[in-house]
Amino acid sequence: MDVGERIQELAGRIVEWRDSYYRGEPVVADAEYDAVEDELRELIAAHPELTPVPNPLDAVGAPAVLHAPIRHSRPMLSLEKATKPEQVEAFFARFPGQPVVVMPKLDGLSLALVYEDGRFARAITRGDGTTGDDVTPLVRALADGVPQKLDAPGRVEVRGEAVMLRSTFAAYNEAHPDKPLINPRNAAAGTLRAKDPATVAERRLQFLAFDLQTDPDSTESDLEQGLQALGFTAADMRHCDDAAAAQEVITAIEQQRNDLDYDLDGAVLRLADRDAFAAAGTRSSSPRGALAFKFAAEEKTTILADVVWDVGKTGKIAPVAWLEPVFVGGTTVTRATLSNQEVIRARDVKIGDTVLVRRAGDVIPFVAGVLDASRRTGEERDIVPPTHCPSCNEPLTEQGNSRELFCTNVACPAQTVRRLIHWASRAAADIDAVGGVWIERLAEAGILEHPSDFYGLTKERLLEFDRIGEVSATRMIESIDTSRQVGLRRALIGLAIPMASEGTASRLCRAGFGSLEAVLESGVDGVVAVDDIGPKVAASLIEHLTRLEPELERLRAAGVSLDVREEDLPPVVAAGAPLAGKTVVVTGSISDPRTGEKVARPVFQRLCEKAGATIASSVSASTDMLITGADVGAAKITKAEKLEVAVVDQSEIWSQLFEAGVTP
C-alpha cells in the first residue's frame, strides 16, 4: 500500500470510529483510536501534498445526529496534545511572562451553559464544534454544579465538563448488574442522550467549569477567580510561572489520579488570563492558548483467551479472564476479573472476544465489556459456569441476584490453601518468608491444614523437601516464629471471616476487647454494641468464631498471641496534648529529626493521636492542619491553601511531640 492509500484508509477509519464513538457505541478503546490519529498526523506532516480533503484532523467531534440543534456563539474545539516535557517548554516559550494554570483533563463530555441576565437559559453539547444539541431539561434535572441563577448581567457562557463521578458509576453498576455501564465517560454521554430525564434519574452528573465568557466584559480577568465568583465549581486549577513548575503539577495530578472521584485522561495547560487566552486565537480545531498533556491509558482492548474459575478463601468461585497480554494502567495485564455469572451475561462476553480491559490504580483489572460484537467470527465460545467445584468436585450453590457460585465444602483443598496464604499475608500474620508456592506444597503434603499448623513446623521437617537449603529453611522458621505476635486485630483479619473487614477488626480493638476469646464470649449482643458494627457482621463473626474455637485453642497452645496489641488500642493521650481537638492529615515522607531515620506514616499518625489529634486521610473543609514531610505533591498543598487549612512542617510537630514526651 502506498502512502496516499494509507492516508485515505486511516482518514476513513477515523471518521467511522468517531461516528460510532459519538453515538455512544465505541468500537475501539481511546488508546487505539489515538494511535490511528497519531499515525495520520505524522504521515500528513511528512507528505503535506497528500492531505485528505476533508481532513478529519481539522474537524471536531462528529456530525452528530442532533435532536435540537443550536449554533455555538464560538466554536467548541478540541485540544492540541502533548506527551513530552519539551512540548510543555515550547508552550511556555510561546507566551513569555504569561501566567498559566494547570488542571486535570476531565474525562466526560463538554457542555456550554448559557445564562441570560442571571438566569440559566440553556445547556448545549459540543456536537461537531459548530452546532450542538440542546440538552437543557436533562442538565436541569440531572447535573450538580449548574446554578439556576447567577449574579451577573447580560450574557454569560460557562463551558466545562459534565462527568459521572466514579462513586455514582460504581453505585449504578452495583444496582443494575443486568445493564452495567461501560465507563464513566460513556455513561455521562449516554445520560445526556436520553429522551426523558426520568429514565436516567440515578445517573447524576457533576459539572466542573473550565472556561468563561461574559458580555459585557466582567472586571475579573483571572479565569478561576471569575468562575468561583459566579458560584461554579471550577476544575482544580493551579497557577504556574514556568515549565518546570507546570511539569511538577502535571506529575502530581497523574499521581493523584487514583484518589479522585472522577476519571481524567491528562492535564490541561491554559493561559490563566481570560483576555490573553482569547487574544491567542485558534487553529483549525484547537485553541492556541491551551495544551493537553496525555497520561497513560487506563483502558485497552485485547483478546479474551480463556476463562478460569478460581476458588477463593471463603469458597466463592469467581471467573477470572485470561487475556492476551496488554499494557494498560502502567503494567502488563494478563488476568482480569469478570465478577460473576450475571455480569458475564449482562456484558455478553464470550471466549475469543475482543474485550475492553480497565485498570485504574489499585483496583483489580476487570473486563468492562465487549466493544464491537460485529467483529465476531463465529469461533467464539460461551463462558460456561461450572456446576461442581474445580478443586474438590462438590456441587456448587448459587447465591444472590448476581448468582455468585460457592463451594460450601469446608474441607475443600483449594479453599484450605487460600486461607493459609491469607493467614500468612502482610495484613495478617505476615509470614513473609513462606510464599504461596511453599504453602501449596506443604498443604499438598498434608502438613499444613490450619493456620496453627505453621507453628508446628520445624527446620528438619522443611529440609526433607526438595530444593530447599539450610538458609531458607531457617528464615522460614524465624518468620513463622515472629508471627506469633500477630495479636487480636491481625489474627481476626487472618481468619478470613465472611463480612468481617479490616475495619471491623480495628473497631473491636478500640472498643476495648482484649482478646479473640473475649470477642467470642461477648456474643452477638456484645459485638453489635460496638459503633459501626451491624447485626449481620456480628452474627457472622460469632458464628465463625464458634466454629473456629478449637483452632483458637490450638493457636494459643502454639504460643500465638490473640490478645490486643498496644498499637491497636485507643491512644492514651499525653498530658498537655499539644494537638488536642485538631483534625490532621499527614502527607509526604516523615523522618525522626534526631536520627534522620524514616518513620512509617502509621507510626507517626499514632504519635499525633497520642498528642490528642484525630487523623483524617485527606484534606477537607473540616481539617485543621496538613502536616507535611519531605517530597509533598503540589496538589495537596494547593487544596489545603484553598480550604484555608494550616500547612505545618513536620519539624514543628516533632518539637511539640518531644516536649509532650511523645516519642516513637
Ligand X SMILES: NC(=O)c1ccc[n+]([C@@H]2O[C@H](COP(=O)([O-])OP(=O)(O)OC[C@H]3O[C@@H](n4cnc5c(N)ncnc54)[C@H](O)[C@@H]3O)[C@@H](O)[C@H]2O)c1
Selection from ligand X, Zn ion, none that 18 binds (CB < 5 to 8 A by kind) is ligand X
HSE-up of 133 (CA within 13 Å, CB side)?
Answer: 22
Report in angstroms how near the CB of residue 277 gets to ligand X at its nearest: 11
Contacts of 187 (CB under 8 A, 6+ apart): 164, 169, 172, 181, 203
Smallest distance from ligand X to CB 171, Å: 23
Q: List % helix, strand, coil for the chain (3-state, nearest 5).
A: 40, 25, 40
Q: Is 72 in the site for ligand X (CB under 6 A)?
A: no
Q: In the stretch 264-303, what mask flags binding to ligand X with x, by CB under 6 A?
A: -x--x-----------------------x-----------
Compute the distance between CA of residue 222 and CA of residue 224 in angstroms, rounded to an integer.
6
33 lies in the site for ligand X, by CB under 6 A: yes
Distance CA(91)–CA(638), nearest Å, equals 23
Smallest separation, CB 365 to ligand X (Å): 19
The β-bridge relationship of strands 264-271 and 131-133 is: unpaired
Catalytic residue among 81, 105, 350, 639: 105
CB of residue 636 to ligand X, shortest distance in Å:
19
- Chain centre to alpha carbon of residue 293: 20
Which range binds Zn ion by CB under 5 A, 123-131, 400-408, 501-509, 544-552?
400-408
Cα 132–chain centre separation: 32
Among Zn ion, ligand X, none, the one that 30 touches (CB under a kind-dependent 5 to 8 A) is: ligand X
CB of 58 to ligand X, least distance (A): 11
CB of 21 within 8 A of CB of 186? no
34 appears as a binding residue in the annotation = yes
C-alpha cell at 525: 449482643
- 407 binding Zn ion? (CB under 5 A): yes
Q: Which three cell numbers stand for residue 167?
A: 462513586
Query: What's phi and psi for 478, nearest 5 deg?
Result: -65, -40
- 31 assigned to a ligand binding site: yes
C-alpha torsion sign, points 552, 557, 558, 560 = positive
**Cell of residue 442, nine digits:** 506443604
How near is the Cβ of 318 to Zn ion at its closest, in Å? Answer: 13
Binds 516, which of Zn ion, ligand X, none (CB < 5 to 8 A, cut-off by type)?
none
Closer residue to ligand X in complex, CB, 26/177: 26
| CB 329 within 8 Å of CB 362 | no
365 binds ligand X (CB under 6 A): no
25/642 Cα distance (integer angstroms): 39
In 3D space, the residue among 69, 196, 195 whose CA is nearest the CA of residue 132 turns out to be 69
92 binds ligand X, rule: CB under 6 A: no
Residues 165-204 that bind ligand X (CB under 6 A): none
CA distance 25 to 22: 7
Stretch that binds ligand X, among 102-110, 276-284, 348-356, 502-510 (CB under 6 A): 102-110
Strands 109-116 vs 119-125: parallel, antiparallel or unpaired: antiparallel
The answer to the question of residue 417 lying near Zn ion (CB under 5 A) is no
Longest dimension (CA), the chain: 87
Which residue from 44, 64, 102, 106 is in contact with ligand X, where contact means CB under 6 A? 106
Q: How far is the CB of 375 from ligand X (least distance, A)?
A: 13
Q: Is 260 exposed, middle or buried (0-12, 13-18, 19+ CB in 10 A)?
A: middle
Q: Applying CB under 6 A, does 28 fall inside the site for ligand X? A: yes
* 19 is annotated as contributing to ligand binding: no
396 in helix, strand or coil?
coil
Return the range that interacts with ligand X (CB under 6 A); candidates 13-21, 326-334, 355-363, 550-558. 13-21
Among candidates 578, 308, 551, which has minimal Cα distance to 453?
A: 551
The whole-angstrom separation of Cα 414 and Cα 420 is: 10
Active site residue 105: yes
Q: Does 396 bind Zn ion (CB under 5 A)?
A: no
From the list 99-107, 169-177, 361-369, 401-409, the region that binds ligand X by CB under 6 A is: 99-107
Cβ neighbours of residue 662 under 8 Å, at least 6 residues apart?
574, 607, 610, 611
Q: Which does 389 bind (CB under 5 to 8 A by kind): Zn ion, ligand X, none?
A: Zn ion
| By the rule CB under 6 A, 322 interacts with ligand X | no
| Per CB under 6 A, 89 contacts ligand X | no
Residue 30 in contact with ligand X, rule: CB under 6 A: yes
Residue 60 interacts with Zn ion (CB under 5 A)? no
Closest alpha carbon to 94 in 243, 209, 235: 243
Residues that bind Zn ion (CB under 5 A): 389, 391-392, 407, 409, 412
User: What residues are labeled active site?
Assistant: 105
Residues that bind ligand X (CB under 6 A): 17-18, 21, 26, 28-30, 33-34, 78-79, 103, 105-106, 110, 126, 161, 210, 235, 265, 268, 292
Return binding residues for NAD(+): 30-34, 78-79, 126, 161, 294
Return binding residues: 30-34, 78-79, 126, 161, 294, 389, 392, 412
